[in-house]
Every structure is written in structure tokens, then in C-alpha cells.
Amino acid sequence: MSNVIGITIGDPAGIGPEVTVRALAEMRAADRKRTRIYGDLATLERARAVTGVDVDLTGLVKDVPIEGGPLPPGKIDPRAGDAAFRFIENAVRDAMNGKIGCLVTAPINKEALNRAGHHYDGHTGLLAALTGQPSAFMLLASERLNVVHVSTHVSLKSAIDRATPDRILATIKAGNDHLTRIGIPAPRIAVAGINPHCGEGGLFGSEDDEQVVPAVLRAKVDGIDVQGPISADTVYHRAYVGAFDLVVAQYHDQGHIPIKLVAFDTAVNVTLGLPIDRTSVDHGTAFDIAGTGKASHININAAIAYARRLASGRKP
């Protein structure tokens, strides 16, 4: 595996270019040599000027030019959505060919992406399509809480329908495999319930008994240390204080809210179930401050650190 990491700058009208150049400026020279940036060079040079960082981009950037770029910051633009797609497409191709060992992605704007004709619900679905996988899984990793999602960017009504026993089982297995890979020999996994109090014996719905319980039982047969369903109003606290290594969340907000409460700046988005490794920031394009040089690069530093460990085979 290559020990080079690739960084896509995300939507060029967002804060991705700025946090990328800030991260580059702080890297040790040896680490910078093991980094490849996928983006528009003109946009990156503007970001460097706006942030005032002193970093030489020569030889670090795989230039994917934007016609008419750099584009105005802070605005939804189909040209930016198409550029973000092309940055990712180039990086995925290099990852599939073994030229980079892990991909780090700065944030994209889903509306701009779709206006450009690339109809995906976000990075996870896009990466699954580009790598030929039917689906992938979103893991949010932090020091004391790790959460993997059964579904992400769908309506709550659709999320409940998508929480089939097969999908829940696949999510449990993906999370178990990843934690085992990074050095946890027998991960302790908790599966959050769908309904309040896991349905309270059918008083608040039967989905937990019909959809979650069969998946947990099948995972146990496969030798996985898993419990559930456990009421979502207690399971995250239990995991945070050390009872579990991973929580399986049934839908986007059920998993994102606790992570963003306890690790807003440091949580890393890790995609599971792909033939390539990918980490990402856990924030959006922040159009309101794009182009001002004010964006914090704490989160992308965390994503880069996790990526380097995956690329080198060390434990994150």
C-alpha cells in the first residue's frame, strides 16, 4: 500500500481550499512529500493568499482546472459542484491504482453537486458508485465515541424502511471489521433502537422486534460481540464512558447529534465497505465564512492523521 495520502479540496467555493492549505503549511516536510492535493491550482493559490500561509504548492497539486476559476467564494454554483466531482473522480482513480494509500476529502455541497448533474446524496454514495460498490457505510470516529450508520442522507421515513435486518447486519459487520483492523481484537458493539425505548414491547412500534432483533441475533451467530437493540437515549452515554467500542445508529441524526456534541472539532468521517480507504472532515462547506481566511483546520488535521495511520498500517 502506498503511504501517500490524497486530499480533495471539496467545493472550491467553500472553505475546503483554505483548510487544505492551512493543513499543508503545518505539515512536516516529510509528510508534505507524502501528500497529493486534487483541486484547481488557481483556487488553492487564492486560498493561500487569503489565509496568509507560507506554503509552496509546487509539485503537490494534481491540477484539475475550473473554467473561469477561481469561482466566487460562498455561493452555490453548478461549476463548483462539477469541479468537486472531478477532483474526487481523479483521486479515486489514483487510489484504485495504488498511487495513494488513503483519500481525505474536504466538504462538498450536495446542492451544487446535483445541479451539476451528479446525482448523489453526498460523498459516501458518490464514492460507492465510483468504486463499483452497491453501498458503503459512514463511521464517525472520535477518541471516546465511535458511531456507524445504517443510513445517512435520507428522510426519517425512508431511514426506517431502510433499516432492514440485512442492512443492519451488514452495518454491524462493517463496523466490527474496521475496529478489528485497527487493533481492537473483539469490538464491543451496541445497536441503537429505532423507536423510543425500543418500542416498549410494541407500545411504540414493532420495528425493533421485527428489524433490529433478527440482525443482532445473526451477528451473534457469526461470533460478533453485539448487544441490542438498546434505547438510543442511553446507549451513547454508555459507550462514551467505556461500555462499548462502537454504536450502530439507525439514521443520520441519531448518530450525528451525540458525536457532534462530544467531538465537534475532532470527529473524523471514515467510509467503510469500499476497496479504498477514505476519511473526511465532519463539517460542511461553511459558505458564510468562505473566502475570509477564518476557517479552522482542526478537523481536517484530524482526518489527515487518521488517514496517515490507515495508509501506513498503524492503529488510528
Q: What is the mean pLDDT of residues 121-126?
A: 92
pLDDT digits (tens, 9 = 90+) for 15-26: 999 999 999 999
Q: Please tell me whether residues 5 and 118 are part of one structural domain.
A: yes
Q: Please tell me whether residues 2 and 110 are part of one structural domain.
A: yes
pLDDT beyond 80 at 313: no
Cα→Cα distances 112→14, 29, 108, Å: 11, 35, 8
Q: How many structural domains is the chain composed of?
A: 2
Q: What is the span of the domain harbouring residue 203?
A: 144-262
Q: What is the mean pLDDT of residues 204-222?
A: 97
Whole-model pTM? Answer: 0.92
Return mean pLDDT, the chain.
95
Most distant CA pair in the chain: distance in Å? Answer: 63
Q: What is the mean pLDDT of residues 128-152?
A: 96
Q: What is the mean pLDDT of residues 87-113?
A: 97
Please say whether the beta carbons of 287 and 74 come within 8 A: yes
Q: Please tell me whether residues 11 and 108 are part of one structural domain.
A: yes
Q: Please tell me whether residues 177 and 30 are part of one structural domain.
A: no
Q: What is the mean pLDDT of residues 64-83?
A: 95
Using CA atoms, how far apart are residues 91 and 70, in angstroms rounded to an integer? 20
Q: Please tell me whether residues 19 and 81 are part of one structural domain.
A: yes
